Amino acid sequence: MASKFRIFTKRFLLLINIGFAVLFLIACLAPYMDPQKWWMISLSGLAFPFLLLPLLLFLIWWLFFKRKYALVSVIALALGWKSISVFMGFHFGSSFNEKKEPGSIRIVTWNVARFIEMKRNNNKGSQTRLKMMDQLREQQADVLCLQEFFHSGNPEWYANLDYISKELNYPYYVFSHDNDGDNHYTGTVIFSRYPMVDSGMLRFPRPTLPEALVHADLRVGKRIVRVYSTHLQSLQFKKSDYEKIDRIKEAQDGMVNNSRTIFSKLRTGVRYRSIQADMVRQVMDDSPYPVLFCGDLNDIPNSYTYFTIRRDMQDAFLRKGSGIGRTFSALSPTLRIDYILADKNFSIRQFKRYVRDYSDHYMLVADISLNKQ
């Protein structure tokens, strides 16, 4: 009787293992399937980390109790290796030298969430804004790429363009913005200490956030480098949506209705980002100069958005970072959605992620050097 129970248990666990393997491989298809047609597969990519873990656990389990069954996980992991390789950084123990080496370009990307407080006062939000400015100052970076950047021409509100340009010493900048009314502006900005010889902006099709793809051509020594920055379509979750997610997690009443709203926003977001990603890639392919890309893609590495924009570019986190590299502080600990990418004209020297709860995103810093022509 005990023998039959063991056989049944092993076969039952094997079926579960196979089920996880199939779902894992479907999630691994997300980067290669156009979300316009295959949005369900694109959304399945969000489950990638939560499918990877059971496969690893089953692999360890079978190695002890039935080695031949471990092949199920081994085959699935081998087929999904490309997705695994962009999910984690393996440079454990590497330190970040705060003093920038000669010949390197220090670049920062950060979704600053409008610096938390937009109106001049002395509340907690304004104190956080000052801490964020101090964090930017500490880096002594050559280039700042900031998304969800806020600036106002109204003296009762913060003039962040003027503050960073003068107080942090960034004389050159390009700012994409929409007029929000009352002389307030929100968008993506590139600040530079290198001379800016040209700049440009590409608007994404509506409906989307008041954002665009901006670029700045910077004179670095005798060469020109093109820096791109953008903020792609977000999920536009409101406080009520986060409350719905909490209710879903806690299996409370109304799960179906709550899930319907969340999935609708997920589907809309992934579709618009696919259009934007195609546009970004096409524009970068036309660049006559070496390319650096910094931005908030609002999408994970195992996605059509990331694979399309990155293509054969170097991901600074994967080159020099470690772990999962979470950059968004809400929803899930697996969300790496902010990136620094460099084409093959550059070498990545070092990378750092600042895990400080100022914005809802973490600041990323990388030191990059131009290769010889």
94 in a domain, yes or no? no
For residue 132, name the pLDDT band (cuts at 50, 70, 90). Answer: very high
User: Does 95 map to a domain?
Assistant: no
User: Are residues 67 and 122 both part of a single domain?
Assistant: no
pTM: 0.90
Domain assignment present for residue 98? The answer is: no
Cross-strand pairs, 119: 157
Residue 151 domain flag: yes
Distance CA 186, CA 222 (A): 33
Determine the pLDDT at residue 258: 55
Q: Do 123 and 69 have their domain in common?
A: no
The helix (H) or strand (E) run that includes residue 190 is strand 184-192
Sign of the CA dihedral 222, 223, 224, 228?
A: negative
In 3D space, the residue among 48, 59, 40 whose CA is nearest the CA of residue 23 turns out to be 48
The pLDDT tens digits for 255-314 are: 445 566 667 778 888 888 999 999 999 999 999 999 999 999 999 999 999 999 999 999
- For the chain, the average pLDDT equals 89
Q: State whether 121 and 257 are in the same domain.
A: yes
Give a yes or no: residue 99 inside a domain: no
Q: Is residue 9 part of a domain?
A: yes
The answer on 314 and 228 residing in a single domain is yes
For residues 321 and 238, which has the higher predicted lDDT (pLDDT)? 321
